[in-house]
Amino acid sequence: MKTFSEIAAMRAWCRDQQSRAQTIGIVPTMGALHEGHLSLVRRAKSQCDLCVATIFVNPTQFAEGEDLSRYPRPLEQDLELLREEGADAVFLPTDAVMYPDGFGTYVNPPPVSLPLEGQSRPEHFRGVTTVVMKLFQIIPANAAFFGQKDFQQLRVIEHMVRDLNVPVEIVPCEIVREKDGLAMSSRNRYLSESERVTALSLSRALVKAAELVQGGEDRADELERTMYAELSACDKVDYAVVVDANSLQPVRRLDQSSVALIAARVGNTRLIDNRIL
Amino acid sequence: MKTFSEIAAMRAWCRDQQSRAQTIGIVPTMGALHEGHLSLVRRAKSQCDLCVATIFVNPTQFAEGEDLSRYPRPLEQDLELLREEGADAVFLPTDAVMYPDGFGTYVNPPPVSLPLEGQSRPEHFRGVTTVVMKLFQIIPANAAFFGQKDFQQLRVIEHMVRDLNVPVEIVPCEIVREKDGLAMSSRNRYLSESERVTALSLSRALVKAAELVQGGEDRADELERTMYAELSACDKVDYAVVVDANSLQPVRRLDQSSVALIAARVGNTRLIDNRIL
């Protein structure tokens, strides 16, 4: 497995591979890898000849007071996991490589970025679109693999790629869960034992909503009430909503494309989860 | 000469050429071609195997009340000029191809976009960076050729390409002038005979400033005073300044990298010109 920390060398490797008709799948990550990330690597390997993973804790998508400085960075372990999974190359840039002095051009995210996470974390998606656009320019991948746990992020990136004509296929991948239902997240490692029990209420709320839907319930407000009730042990619920899965705009009644989305704080840890209904 | 109006076909042609080791130079234009544009095509042909010109009057870089609707669109003549010059392909998208319903992602331009044109035309450069980024994604050119008449635009695009790691070389090209000094511009065709005489004051003001510099003058305010005096027949001078050629920030005294920039209105026509000092 090759590792690169410089842009020119990373790009040259990709071009060399592509000149020999090798297709490339990119898996952008912030490291602290778990089974969710590794499932993306496997998916990339199954669809493309080569998999390039990126590990970069992107400062522009964190606001003041968020967890940038304490975000986990178990680099050696991450590299070992990627090696075992058969990733072909890893891009590990520093902050100075990605945001050198004088940096000042940002990709302004599409309107689908505005509700939900956009309300809770106003600058977040601008950081995401900017860094993902940069990665797509550095690594000219044929396809890019993103987990559906960050459901709104996936929509934001899909719209960006469509609007700016980026020549890459965005491949959404299923959420990977722990046996007890907790959605895998690098931030789960912040949770104490008791917080981890409380954190299960997110996936449980989504299952309850799905059960109600199977029982015939189609009123968004009823489903949301049920989710909020299930989340009562959380320290703060940023949102627990049923929205249109494409626009992320509120719906009154479920239709063929609805999704339930939750963001909640357990102790100092902010968790998100979702389920297509 | 091939013409394309659809994104997929344009991109496929480029990829096919590049798979056969042909390099591509792109010349983005809004049409109404003059000798300045044609010099860019010649430069592209001299540096790359193939030249792709684009003709698109980009609505997002015009504000309400500007000349979008009356901007000249002599398409048949433009195509004939490009054919004579040996352009290999032309991309001619419609507004609906470039900005389909639901479009909503913009490239926010770098700080060098803020002074000068950024003050006179606040949304202009956001439209420029967005459409140029789109063109660079559709046409994966090795190099892109821009005239120095739009001096600030050139800097904005250079900074965007650097910040977002776009894999294209930006090649600045000399201003082409009429025999009497008037910088070539598609907007010159708006000028009446008497307005055209007044329009000469822009290039004359720049020559006078350069003469003063050769005579030892290095005070920006003196140079600006001279330019304003020369521009007195114009209907409005948006700016006539001496600034740092990289940052476009004001300078008190000239150094090795200074440029004089003018924007002025003659009748209803807004003209720009500049000269490295």
Instruction: Name the interface residues of A facing B (CB cutoff 8 Å).
Output: 7, 11, 102-112, 129-130, 133-134, 137-138, 140, 159-160, 163-167
- Average pLDDT (B174-183) is 98
User: What pLDDT was estimated at residue B155?
Assistant: 98
Task: Reply yes or no on domain B2-173 having CATH 3.40.50.620.
Answer: yes
Query: Which among B135, B149, B174 has a CA at the least distance from the CA of B28?
Result: B135
Q: Indicate if A124 belongs to the active site.
A: no
**Max CA-CA distance within chain B?**
57
Instruction: Tell me the percentage of chain A whose pLDDT exceeds 90.
Output: 99
Interface of B with A (CB under 8 A): 7, 11, 102-112, 129-130, 133-134, 137-138, 140, 159-160, 163-167
Q: Is the pLDDT of residue A255 over 90?
A: no
> Is pLDDT at A221 greater than 90 in this prediction?
yes
Provide φ and ψ at B208, rounded to 5°: -60, -40
Give the tens place of pLDDT for each residue, A161-214: 999 999 999 999 999 999 999 999 999 999 999 999 999 999 999 999 999 999
Q: Is A52 helix (H, G, I), strand (E, B) or coil?
A: strand
Average pLDDT over residues A228-242: 98
Rounded average pLDDT over A240-257? 95
Give the integer Cα–Cα distance in Å for A273 and A35.
Answer: 16
The tokens for A154 are 């996936």
Contacts of A171 (CB under 8 A, 6+ apart): A25, A43, A47, A143, A144, A145, A146
Q: What was the pLDDT predicted at A256?
A: 86
Q: Residue B51: is its pLDDT beyond 90?
A: yes
Of A111, A133, A163, the CB nearest to B164: A133
- What's the confidence (pLDDT) of residue B184? 98
For the cut 90, the answer to whether the pLDDT of residue B255 exceeds it is no
Position B25 scores a pLDDT of 98
Q: Taking residues B177-197, what's their average pLDDT?
A: 97
Q: Of B138, B140, B164, which has the smallest distance from its Cβ to A105's Cβ?
A: B164
Res. A6 pLDDT band, cuts 50 70 90: very high
Q: Where are the alpha helices (DSSP H) in chain A?
A: 7-19, 35-47, 75-85, 95-98, 117-120, 124-138, 151-163, 193-214, 220-230
A147 contacts A256 by C-beta, under 8 angstroms: no
Q: Say which residues have a Cβ less than 8 Å from residue A166's Cβ, sequence separation at least 6.
A: A133, A136, A160, B137
- Tell me the pLDDT of chain A averaged across its residues: 97
Residue numbers in B near A166 (CB within 8 A)? 137
CB-closest option in A103, A107, A112 to B107:
A107
At B249 the pLDDT is 96
Strands A89-91 and A169-173: unpaired
- Alpha-carbon distance of A44 to A50, in angstroms, equals 8
User: What are the catalytic residues of B?
Assistant: 37
**Domain extent listing, chain A:** 2-173, 186-276
Task: Note the pLDDT tens digit of each residue in A53-110.
Answer: 999 999 999 999 999 999 999 999 999 999 999 999 999 999 999 999 999 999 999 9
* Chain B partners within 8 Å of A104 (Cβ): 110-112, 159, 163
3 state SS of A263: strand
Is it the case that residue B85 has pLDDT exceeding 90?
yes
Chain B residues within an 8 Å CB radius of A109: 105
pLDDT digits (tens, 9 = 90+) for A114-157: 999 999 999 999 999 999 999 999 999 999 999 999 999 999 99
Mean pLDDT confidence for B255-268: 96
User: Pick the catalytic residue: A4, A25, A27, A37?
Assistant: A37
Contacts 24+ apart (CB under 8 A), A13-18: A13/A89, A14/A52, A14/A139, A14/A140, A14/A141, A15/A140, A17/A49, A17/A50, A18/A140
Q: Is residue B256 over pLDDT 90?
A: no
Task: Give the CA count within 13 Å in the CB-facing half-sphere of A30.
Answer: 21
B215 annotated as ligand-binding: no
Q: Tell me which fold the domain B186-276 belongs to.
A: Pantoate--beta-alanine Ligase; Chain: A,domain 2 (3.30.1300)
d(CA A50, CA A89): 8
pLDDT at B86: 98
Question: A93 to chain B nearest CA, in Å?
Answer: 13
